[in-house]
């Protein structure tokens, strides 16, 4: 997540009674897509998303953190939520997760397993063959919770 965007947006989200879960930015030529994920203990509804979208949009119009046109999307992280921080990984200890790595480990970039926790800056995953593997946090490109439905 872009720390400067996070620093800009988080106070607005907090001020409206929600938590900033994460930010994703995708560039598509001259157009960007900015996804802002929010969460709250009570859950998130459409009104929360609309309220925060209006405020963040107004803030971005004033601050202009990036050039060109953009589309802003505000939503809940959902059941298959992406994990952005080590604290979020720790909060989902015991859940099934899917990881995509920046560089291959033992010839693979994608792993699925139970999240066992955090050891210093490593994420510990137990694979289906009951082997625990430590992945350096900075090598994880993307991680999502696998919904238990």
Residues 18 and 45 in one domain: yes
Residue 12 lies in a domain: yes
Domain that holds residue 106: 86-145
Q: What is the pLDDT of residues 20-57, one digit of tens each?
A: 999 999 888 788 899 999 999 999 999 999 999 999 99
Q: Which of 41, 75, 109 is the last residue of a domain?
A: 75
The pLDDT of residue 2: 58
Q: Number of folded domains in the chain?
A: 2
- Counting other chains too, the contacts that 101-105 makes at CB distance below 8 Å and 24 or more residues apart are 101/135, 101/139, 101/140, 101/141, 102/139, 102/140, 102/141, 103/139, 105/133, 105/135, 105/139
pTM over 0.75: yes
**Whether 60 and 95 share a structural domain:** no
Co-location of 66 and 108 in the same domain: no
Q: Is residue 47 domain-shared with residue 96, that is, in the same domain?
A: no
């Amino acid at each position: 997540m872009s720390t400067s965007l996070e620093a800009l947006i988080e106070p607005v989200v907090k001020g409206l009674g929600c938590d900033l879960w994460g930010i994703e930015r995708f560039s598509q030529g001259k157009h960007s897509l900015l996804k802002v994920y929010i969460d709250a203990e009570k859950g998130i509804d459409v009104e929360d998303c609309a309220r925060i979208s209006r405020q963040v949009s107004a803030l971005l119009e004033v601050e202009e953190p990036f050039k060109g046109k953009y589309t802003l999307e505000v939503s809940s992280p959902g059941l298959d939520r992406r994990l952005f921080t080590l604290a979020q990984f720790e909060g989902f200890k015991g859940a099934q997760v899917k990881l995509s790595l920046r560089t291959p480990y033992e010839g693979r970039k994608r792993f699925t397993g139970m999240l066992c926790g955090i050891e210093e800056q490593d994420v510990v995953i137990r694979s289906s063959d009951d082997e625990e593997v430590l992945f350096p946090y900075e090598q994880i490109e993307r991680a999502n919770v696998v919904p238990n439905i």
